[in-house]
Chains A and B, each alone.
Chain A
């Protein structure tokens, strides 16, 4: 897994682990924008994302000594961020809203590929982001973990506390929700306004 557009700042990590405040500042400046964007995708409001970013970095600094340097720093960073965001949602019970209906009602039958193709072709990134805001907490969280921070199915399963085999179902269900949200927007845009 690689963080979006980031290389591993090995030296800064080593210095920060040794207590170098400047090195920690460097790490923060380098990764804070990415973590903030991750939180922005995963959490419902901008204020939440800001608070979560701050808290995640406080947690990261406390846990920096536990980081295994043989593994990817960005992977570890996103794991901590994902766990924090998911805990935050769980504490607020936001994520319960959709959970119960998620599990068993996933349609696995063959969709209309050309219709799907057209829908995707017509949508912009901004429309996708707006549609993401309409999704349930778990769906949004799963999509952010997979398509923003490129986490593996194993990592997603661990963060969400589900079986690995269920991750695909969660992601597919999330895509369906997203398509529905995008479809509604499209329908409104096409015929809603007088």
Chain B
């Protein structure tokens, strides 16, 4: 033991060999090694190790790769150009999406009386809905906001310091809430199996009503927010009516707007401003009158009453037998304009077959009919191909962002996709289950914010599904890789193959559909599986692991694993 205490430690020996010791210490080591054979052996071993390392490193066992034989600046630049093009295409896709879909919709919504507010702000942050949130005081809504904030924080954490990201998200939330807050005023809440505002009763201010059956026979001098199975308005509402219900019927007078998310809504009374409806069946009775415009998204639409301004409608089938003072823009399968109908503005109809127009109908101009393009015909056009290329570039870019932001999770998702049974099974569950649950959350009292957040998450996962499957396909072809660069290459290659296959098989209707659905479900399942595993508790550290090999004693250099 005494001997070993006198030995020079390995660190000092290494520094001696590397000529990093000061003169005095080096002399001490030198003197010691003259009399200590063991330390001398150690010095010699360390020197030999240095030589072995240098030799191993300097040996030219690999030729310079052909692509490095000359300085290829152009190749590098061209790669940058490709990424530039991909970004450009993605930007084009976004612009086309905006100008093609969002902007026209926005204009229509503005026409429908929503002013300058965007759909998002209308649905989530506008003052009227903020009051709705207050009415529920539900933990779920808060959770939804926190979840959204969490997503933003996770997204930003790579770009900003943690504290900055949190501060930014909190500041944004505060700003949003501060903007929304002034909307609250004197507000009343009523709950119950059957909730009623009796005839002769006057409510001054806004009111929130919930229950199985809600009935308004009296007067509300403010807005009405109803969350129920059935709503009946027979009285007078001076503000807006916003309703989430299975069935709604407006027989009385609403001076403001009607905005409904219902299975069936019937307007038999008077609406002073505009109506916006999402539902299966929407009808304006012959006694019904909407002073402003009607915007509807439904399976079945019937207009027997009067519309003061324009109609924007998306439907399965529609029957117009009433009067429309403005223009009409419609998209759907079947449009019938009956004998009693009167439309004072132009009518545009995009449909599968020409509208059935009664000769007795009074129309300002003939219906401008546009046959909805059949899928097959579009597929052969150059524009369709260009769109597909643009979308592929957009998905590619999205994949690049995802892989860069969450490389480990992306790899786990790709690995999960190889468990075909589990991924497909879970995929079916999540693909249908989460979608349906989100819709239910949107239209019921559970909460619109939670529904929208879930739906957004679902859409993101579905959109990412093909990236996961594409990466796996790329790995099948080019082999596995855990590095980010090669993985991105595999993702790009596989994604292009998957999208080409989807496009090619799309011509064979059933097989193409099944293939596409299978890809999406598989990918969704893989992502869900990876997510599920992430959420599992970590195994306790004292649980023995099968992968642990023979440990090497910490203070030995060679350990007990010397070859025989």
Contacts and interface: CB of A to CB of B under 8 A. Distances in A.
B485 A36 contact: no
Given A36-B64, A120-B52, A147-B50, A115 B558 contact: yes
B94 interface: no
Given A116-B45, A117-B45, A110 B4 contact: yes
Interface in A21-49: 24-25, 28-29, 32-33, 36-37, 40-41, 44-48
Interface in A140-194: 143-144, 147-148, 153, 168-169, 171-172, 175-176, 178-180, 183-184, 186-187, 189-191
Nearest to A149: B57
B558 A112 contact: yes
Interface in B39-60: 39, 41-42, 44-46, 48-50, 52-60
B139 interface: no
Given A36-B65, A51-B485, A111-B42, A117 B48 contact: yes
Contacts of A187: 561-563
Interface stretch (B11-19, B167-175, B181-189, B537-545): B11-19
5 contacts: A5-B58, A172-B14, A180-B561, A186-B562, A190-B563
Contacts of A29: 70
B52 A47 contact: no
A128 interface: yes
Interface stretch (A67-75, A77-85, A101-109): A101-109
Contacts of A58: 73, 76
Interface of B: 4, 7-11, 14-15, 18, 20, 38-39, 41-42, 44-46, 48-50, 52-62, 64-65, 67-68, 70-73, 75-76, 407, 481, 483-486, 549, 552, 554-559, 561-564
Contacts of B7: 110
Contacts of A148: 54, 57-58
Contacts of A92: 407, 483-484
Contacts of A44: 483
Given A187-B561, A190-B563, A175 B65 contact: no
A119 B15 contact: no
A113 B67 CA distance: 45
A37 B558 contact: no
Contacts of A147: 50, 53-54, 57
A132 interface: yes
B315 to A, nearest CB: 53
Contacts of B46: 116
Contact of B483 (A48, A50, A115): A48
